[in-house]
Amino acid sequence: MRRFLIPVLIPVLSLATLAGAANQVWAQSNTQKTVECYCTNREGARVELGQRICLVVDGRMFMAECQMSLNVPMWRELGEGCLTSALPQMSFMDQG
């Protein structure tokens, strides 16, 4: 019976050694700094993921959202045209 005990212990010890090494690698990878992902606008200003802005590309205006695709930040078009707001101008005659 002792003859079979030694071959069984060697693989078990090897698995324990591999598990310990894997835990050490995982612990080292968790201490690394996280990379912050963001998009940039035309001026190079930072735009956070999920933020929506109006983009003008080749004369087209459209709403776009900063999103991740295949671990790369990118702009996804949401629709034609941009949301804008403006106050109506009062003419000189409207002032009463």
Choose the weakest-confidence range: 32-36, 51-55, 69-73.
32-36
In-domain check, residue 67: yes
Residue 18 lies in a domain: no
- Scored b (16 or more CB within 10 A) or e, 53-77 reads eebeeeeeeebbbbeeeeeebebee
Distance, CA of 87 to CA of 83 (rounded, Å)? 14
Q: Which residue has the higher pLDDT, 67 or 87?
A: 67
pTM of the full predicted structure?
0.52
The total of structural domains in the chain comes to: 1
Q: Tell me the sheet residues that pair with 68.
A: 73
Range of the domain at 56: 37-83
Say if residue 8's pLDDT is above 90: no
State how far the Cα of 12 lies from the Cα of 27, in Å rounded to an integer. Answer: 23
Residue 88 lies in a domain: no
Confidence at residue 42, expressed as pLDDT on a 0 to 100 scale: 87
Domain holding 45: CATH number? 2.10.70
Alpha-carbon dihedral angle through residues 88, 89, 93, 95, given to the nearest 10 degrees = 80
The band of 73, judged by pLDDT with boundaries at 50, 70 and 90, is: very high
Considering the domain boundaries, does residue 32 fall inside one?
A: no
